[in-house]
Structure 1
Amino acid sequence: MALPMDTLGPIQRLNSTPAEAPLAMPEQSFQRRGFPAHHATRPSLRTIAARATLVIVTLSLAVFGVSEMYAVAKVGGMAALEWVLLIAFTAAFGWIAFSAANALAGVFSPRGRNEDIDAPGGLTAIVMPVYNEDPRDTFSAIAAMVNDLPKQLRTSFEVFVISDTTNPETWIAEERALAILRAKCGPTRVWYRRRRDNAHRKAGNVADFVRRWGGRYEHMVMLDADSLMTGMCLAKLRAAMIADPRAGIIQTCPSLIGGATPFARAQQFANTVTGPVVSHGIAAWQGEDGNYWGHNAIIRMTAFASAAGLPSLPGKPPFGGSILSHDFVEAALIRRAGWTVTMRADITGSYEGAPTDLFGVIKRDRRWAQGNLQHARLIGAAGLAFCSRLHFAIGILAYVMSPVWLFLLLTGVALSVQATLIRPEYFPSNFALFPTWPAFDADRMVTLFIISLVVLLLPKMIAMVNALFDRDLRRGCGGPVGVVGSTFLELLISTLIAPIMMIAQTGIVMSILLGRAVGWLPQARKGASVSWLAATHFHLVHMACGLVLGAIALIHSPTLAAWMSPTLFALILAVPISKGCGSFWLGRKLRRAHMMLTPQESRPPEVLRMARREAHAFPASLPRDALITLAEDPMLCDAHLGSLEPELRGRGSFDPTRALAAAKLGEAQSLEELASWLAPSERMLVLSDTNLLDRALQLAKARAINAKAA
């Protein structure tokens, strides 16, 4: 597809990248503390009150719950397995107590501030890292964000797309979309750079941008490929950073949008209703010792460059090599240097895409879990703020708690089996007429179960009540009936998928602990319907666990089987549950019934409607072949050649892929023949090398000349 004539001008007017403005970004040490740029201030009274609430409520609930569990188990004396059960319960109950306390700490959330959006403050880069994403989605979102900016700020922002794409056709599609985007962004300049070497993944991509062009900008708004932010949100973020010279990172709280399946809609509804309760709690207790989630945040360029250069960790992956969950570490290092890291829950209009199904989430969790567990090596790094270490610990526990819950479940099953199969050996050291039998206070256990359920559901109940009293949120979710009904439907879906995620995350954690590293795969953002055969294969382990646990429980204790029935039901029926949660048809039915409706659906923000309209201006599909597309579109080819960076290859170095591509190029008699011979890696190399690409294009020119002569 050739470029429309009205989009060719921007290719000629602008280079792909601006003149380089280098900014030093030294690698930081985790062994010694750097010299802070500012002196950290004491936390505010609100932050102190929120932290006190978090600690007091967490400890009070944990002590109460554990003491009740001890009272349940000590009937007849504590046996070895009962002590194991108590320890596992302590960890699990402490985790849900912390979550409940976090929701209560939200009453001390800092109040919003009104900064002057027109305050002068230098250029701000809107940075979009992409890695084999659909250019139509990412570029239309950028166009919508830029056109939603207040007109007086359009020249205060520049867009910089930093690509690590490795698919040839996606690369050419990005360059084709660039011309269209530039035509749509008017006075806001748009730049594009694709790296040859994808070293250190997204963190390396961003670091390369900062080192080469960071000096051009005062701040950068970091996006993800599915990010969308209103123009006013961008303007307020910029104004907030200008107003606070100590601010290093200001993080927004993105709302999920675009949920098309029951799973996505459940995540989207929970994020919209429960999310603010959680985020206000986090914002309250972390104060200026905040965290960074890697996107939908504004960062001061000098703070990032001077303090957030990441080294490779010694050793091999999964615990060595590149730092995967780099955002947590960057926030900790910037805070260590004396800059503030805050969350502004009051700055709304920040959005990101909702995960589609369990398949994509579990695959994504493999990478996230490795990154979070990697933080165990950094939690003791020199000079970090206590809250930064706490953020590391929370990230680790988010995945470690799945094995803890499974261990708690297996310990209960073991106690049941022991009571029926194994002869008791629990005689005390002193003389006694009877053994110490494992026994439990059944009535107290029921009470403890109810208490645990209340603590677990407290954030959701607070969120539901808050939504009922918030007129705009209540109306956006379908009224009181919609809020209550959707809350319980989301809870049902969460309950069904929790056991599946428990087994999946346990397997992920164990795999990482056994030394199996994960590769760098693009996220599945749109999803697709998975076949029943593929779903069965994917969930085979989950079903097997459910069947084995169910058989053991039924044989040895029907009462235990009844207690475990929700977990067993979810595991045994993992395939239909997963298929149902990922069904686009069922998602549409729920949408029509106004179930799990959100204000972003009932009253879509203008920037979202604009992004959907802008998408029609960009090609809906990738080129069928990158080389042939360039040969057929001379203007696009010229722009591509002008954007290529020189290859840094020393004399005598030998690249087998390049040699093979050159050999095929020498044998091919037409460009179509060459295209059919080249493997994807060879095609990428030809597209990256001006000499090889020129030789390939000569094949097309020679064929055209011969055809004309004939």
Structure 2
Amino acid sequence: MDSAPRARSFGSGFPRTSDAETGGARLASVVIRNATSLTTLRWLFLALVLATTAAAISRLFNILRVDDLTWLETAYLVLVAILFTWISASFWIAALGAYARWRGLADFTLERPQDAGPSASRTALLFPVRNEDTARLVAGIRTVCESVRAEGLGEFFDVYILSDSNEQASITAETAGWQTLQTGEGPNVYYRHREDNTGKKAGNIAEFCRNWGALYDYMVVLDADSLMTGDTLASLVRLMDVNPRTALIQVAPQLVGRDSLFARIQQFTSSVYGPLYATGLSLLQGPGGNYWGHNAIIRIQPFMDHCGLPELHGPAPLGGEILSHDFVEAALLRRAGWHLHLVTDLEGSYEEPPPTLIDFLIRDRRWCQGNLQHLQLILGQGFRTESRGHFFNGVMSYVSSPLWLAMLIVSVFVIANQPHIAPVIYIGRYPVLAFGLSHTFDFAVLVLSMVVLLYGPKFLALALLLRDPAARAAHGGGWNATASVLLEAVFSTLLAPISMLSQSAFVVRIMLGETKGWGAQFRGERQLHIAVIARAFAIHTLVGVGAAVAIHLWLPASLWWFIPLLAGPILSIPLVRLTSSTPAGLAARRLGLFITPGETGRIGVVDRVRALTAA
């Protein structure tokens, strides 16, 4: 089924294709002016990360080398070095973001429009869907269309529902929902259903580009649960107009719209912590940004010219069809010389989080396979350094979990094998007895350093929130926001080891050849049955209890060091039961906990979607 207009031919009559050349001289001066600043910033960031890691590893080395390094201690030192570098990088990105938001800085390599006048560029809003909740989908599209009309821009935007659904009930509902969107006012809404799911979402968008891409300057890719305001869409179009060498601008979406306790915690972290990381990342990336697959505006012609996806060498799961296509499309655009930016000074971009930890991990399993495929592309021919960095970052976001697990296991054996000798320190190459010191103190300093790196960004974000009266009010007030940050830190401490065990299992299974499909994501609220939770997390409980018993029998004096790591897996079943509860989430809201701007009347489109979905 196909309601959309046909383009005359692929690429023909594509408007504004010469903008990249006519604006080249103007943009070149901006790039030259900012190149030194961006390079300096990147070198400063690298120096901070390496200095932080070197300080920690040198202290650990001084502890371990008392009786010469064994192979086990060497492995422990290497694992700590890798993971300390990883968390140091995350900390300094957040610290940079905190400084930038305090000083009101943004990506200085992206030129801003000098006026806020309307643009004559044509933009398609794409909603690729497959067996989604049609009521929520239609409510979201209607809300976006209303917001665009409120800006007086309905004639410059068209909406495309690109259906890959294979369930007849979904197809029927989509068709009926599309018909209700025909209001006779702009934007026009078109519906296309294709029988063949070739290429999945990437193939769906590629088919749109072949058939209708030549009719538009830009496209904005949105998920079934995405929302963008008309003002944000208009701002993105104007940004693209004044940056003719920019092929893609990614907007950092905020999580909204769910009521379970797990989702509310995710929404709170997205609203409070997310801007710090996004701003720091935006400044470090400059024009070498990435694509997250949705809530981004794309210049259609370079996308059509350069973003044909290859087949990866070998069979699935690591070969064959590319699953996480967004990173690859960004790398292909960057290889062709186009700029990609992440903007963090635009609000009005939203999506919904998974309602439970189980739904989060189901999605995470698919992302894990897609990111591990990028191992083949890190050394791909012609890719820019920043694109290789994005591939590596995606791989490490999952490989870090088995590395953490391996480090914890090795640390137990290292502690057990520590010799019972007098504590010493080193002056240069020479050991000196230091009866006033102990290795416990040195280990405590290392642990405290990790705690600062892991939790420091949370309190930087809280400090920025507390100094802004509007932000305090939007998050329920200063005391409520502070209590929410402290409680979130507790929940993240408990949930992190559970995710670590799950992701470690994902990586091992994928490396052994297990592959998964890319099905529809469950997006609604649901109360998980205790039997479902027990089946999913029984192994986590057994691992936690078994590890606690073994450490108690073998290293009883060290058990308290491991309690924060073991509590989450041991309590995983009741913890997941609690966080999946919508009544628990609503109770937290009544207590003023995990409040976000979407719940204090600051985000009108969220309220509108809820009202339309309920109706």
- Regarding TM over 0.5, the answer is yes
CA contact (8 A) 2:303 2:333 kept: yes
Corresponding position of 1:171? 171
Deviation at 1:114, TM superposition (A): 4.4
Residue range with higher mean Cα deviation, 259-268 or 489-498: 259-268
> Could you say what secondary structure the match of 1:44 adopts?
helix
Corresponding position of 2:43? 52
Corresponding position of 2:531? 533
Corresponding position of 2:255? 256
Q: Does 1:230 align with 2:229?
A: yes
CA contact (8 A) 1:261 1:586 kept: yes
Deviation at 1:19, TM superposition (A): 2.0
Deviation at 1:144, TM superposition (A): 0.7
Corresponding position of 2:68? 77
Corresponding position of 2:107? 110
Instruction: Give the distance between the partners of 2:188 and 2:221, measured in 1 at CA.
Output: 17
Instruction: Give the distance between the partners of 1:325 and 1:144, measured in 2 at CA.
Output: 28
Deviation at 1:560, TM superposition (A): 2.1
Corresponding position of 1:277? 276
One-letter code of the match for 1:574? S
Corresponding position of 2:590? 592
CA contact (8 A) 2:11 2:301 kept: no
Corresponding position of 1:608? 606
Q: Does 1:64 align with 2:55?
A: yes
> Could you say what secondary structure the match of 1:224 adopts?
coil
Q: Does 1:155 align with 2:155?
A: yes
Corresponding position of 1:503? 501
CA contact (8 A) 2:121 2:237 kept: no
Corresponding position of 2:426? none
* Gap change, CA 1:369 and 1:21, over 3 Å in 2: farther
> Could you say what secondary structure the match of 2:182 adopts?
helix
Corresponding position of 2:3? 16
Instruction: Give the distance between the partners of 2:116 and 2:155, measured in 1 at CA.
Output: 13
- Select 1:554's aligned residue among 529, 548, 552: 552
One-letter code of the match for 2:55? F
> Could you say what secondary structure the match of 1:75 adopts?
helix
One-letter code of the match for 1:609? D
Q: Does 1:181 align with 2:172?
A: no
> Could you say what secondary structure the match of 2:153 adopts?
helix
Corresponding position of 2:305? 306
Residue range with higher mean Cα deviation, 89-98 or 453-462: 453-462
> Could you say what secondary structure the match of 1:381 adopts?
coil
Deviation at 1:50, TM superposition (A): 2.7
CA contact (8 A) 2:498 2:572 kept: yes
Instruction: Give the distance between the partners of 1:334 and 1:252, measured in 2 at CA.
Output: 17
Corresponding position of 1:666? none
> Could you say what secondary structure the match of 1:152 adopts?
coil
One-letter code of the match for 1:266? I
CA contact (8 A) 1:474 1:483 kept: yes
What is the aligned-residue RMSD (CA, Å)?
2.1
> Could you say what secondary structure the match of 1:220 adopts?
strand
Corresponding position of 1:399? 398
One-letter code of the match for 2:41? A
Q: Does 1:454 align with 2:445?
A: no
Q: Deviations over 1:377-425 (max 9, x none)?
A: 01111111111110111111000100011001111223355579xxxxx
One-letter code of the match for 1:221? V
Deviation at 1:466, TM superposition (A): 0.7
Matches for 1:435-514 after TM superposition, within 5 Å: 441-514=439-512
Instruction: Give the distance between the partners of 2:137 and 2:502, measured in 1 at CA.
Output: 30
> Could you say what secondary structure the match of 2:125 adopts?
strand
Corresponding position of 1:221? 220
CA contact (8 A) 1:402 1:502 kept: yes
Deviation at 1:508, TM superposition (A): 0.2
Instruction: Give the distance between the partners of 2:282 and 2:10, measured in 1 at CA.
Output: 31
One-letter code of the match for 1:295? H
Q: What's the TM-score once normalised by structure 2's chain length? A: 0.90
One-letter code of the match for 2:152? Q
Instruction: Give the distance between the partners of 2:214 and 2:416, measured in 1 at CA.
Output: 66
Deviation at 1:513, TM superposition (A): 0.6
Matches for 1:305-704 after TM superposition, within 5 Å: 305-416=304-415, 441-616=439-614
> Could you say what secondary structure the match of 1:343 adopts?
strand
Instruction: Give the distance between the partners of 1:541 and 1:119, measured in 2 at CA.
Output: 57
Q: Does 1:290 align with 2:289?
A: yes
CA contact (8 A) 1:141 1:228 kept: yes
CA contact (8 A) 1:75 1:440 kept: no
CA contact (8 A) 1:274 1:463 kept: yes
One-letter code of the match for 1:259? R
Instruction: Give the distance between the partners of 1:418 and 1:504, measured in 2 at CA.
Output: 29
Deviation at 1:365, TM superposition (A): 0.8
Which runs of 5 or more residues in structure 1 are unaligned?
1-10, 26-36, 421-438, 618-710
Q: Does 1:196 align with 2:187?
A: no
Deviation at 1:116, TM superposition (A): 4.1
CA contact (8 A) 1:335 1:384 kept: yes
> How many equivalent pairs are there?
574
Which runs of 5 or more residues in structure 2 are unaligned?
13-22, 420-436
Instruction: Give the distance between the partners of 2:60 and 2:524, measured in 1 at CA.
Output: 44
> Could you say what secondary structure the match of 1:190 adopts?
strand
Deviation at 1:115, TM superposition (A): 5.2
Deviation at 1:607, TM superposition (A): 1.7
Instruction: Give the distance between the partners of 2:147 and 2:228, measured in 1 at CA.
Output: 9
Q: Deviations over 1:298-355 (max 9, x none)?
A: 0000011011111222321111111111101111111111111001111111000022
Q: Deviations over 1:104-157 (max 9, x none)?
A: 333364268345454444310000011110111111111111111244311000
One-letter code of the match for 2:159? V
Instruction: Give the distance between the partners of 1:21 and 1:118, measured in 2 at CA.
Output: 30
One-letter code of the match for 1:189? N
Instruction: Give the distance between the partners of 1:269 and 1:23, measured in 2 at CA.
Output: 44
Deviation at 1:247, TM superposition (A): 1.1
Q: Deviations over 1:51-76 (max 9, x none)?
A: 12321111111111111111222233
CA contact (8 A) 1:71 1:441 kept: no
Instruction: Give the distance between the partners of 1:506 and 1:174, measured in 2 at CA.
Output: 38
CA contact (8 A) 2:312 2:319 kept: yes
One-letter code of the match for 1:234? L
CA contact (8 A) 1:303 1:334 kept: yes
Corresponding position of 1:29? none
Higher gyration radius (CA): 1
CA contact (8 A) 1:72 1:440 kept: no
Deviation at 1:21, TM superposition (A): 4.1
Q: Deviations over 1:269-311 (max 9, x none)?
A: 1111111110100000000000010110100000110111112
One-letter code of the match for 1:328? F
CA contact (8 A) 2:145 2:186 kept: no
Corresponding position of 1:621? none
Instruction: Give the distance between the partners of 1:78 and 1:134, measured in 2 at CA.
Output: 58
> Could you say what secondary structure the match of 1:148 adopts?
helix
Residue range with higher mean Cα deviation, 375-384 or 148-157: 148-157
One-letter code of the match for 2:211? R
Instruction: Give the distance between the partners of 1:419 and 1:285, measured in 2 at CA.
Output: 42
Instruction: Give the distance between the partners of 1:585 and 1:614, measured in 2 at CA.
Output: 22
> Could you say what secondary structure the match of 2:413 adopts?
helix
Q: What's the TM-score once normalised by structure 1's chain length? A: 0.78
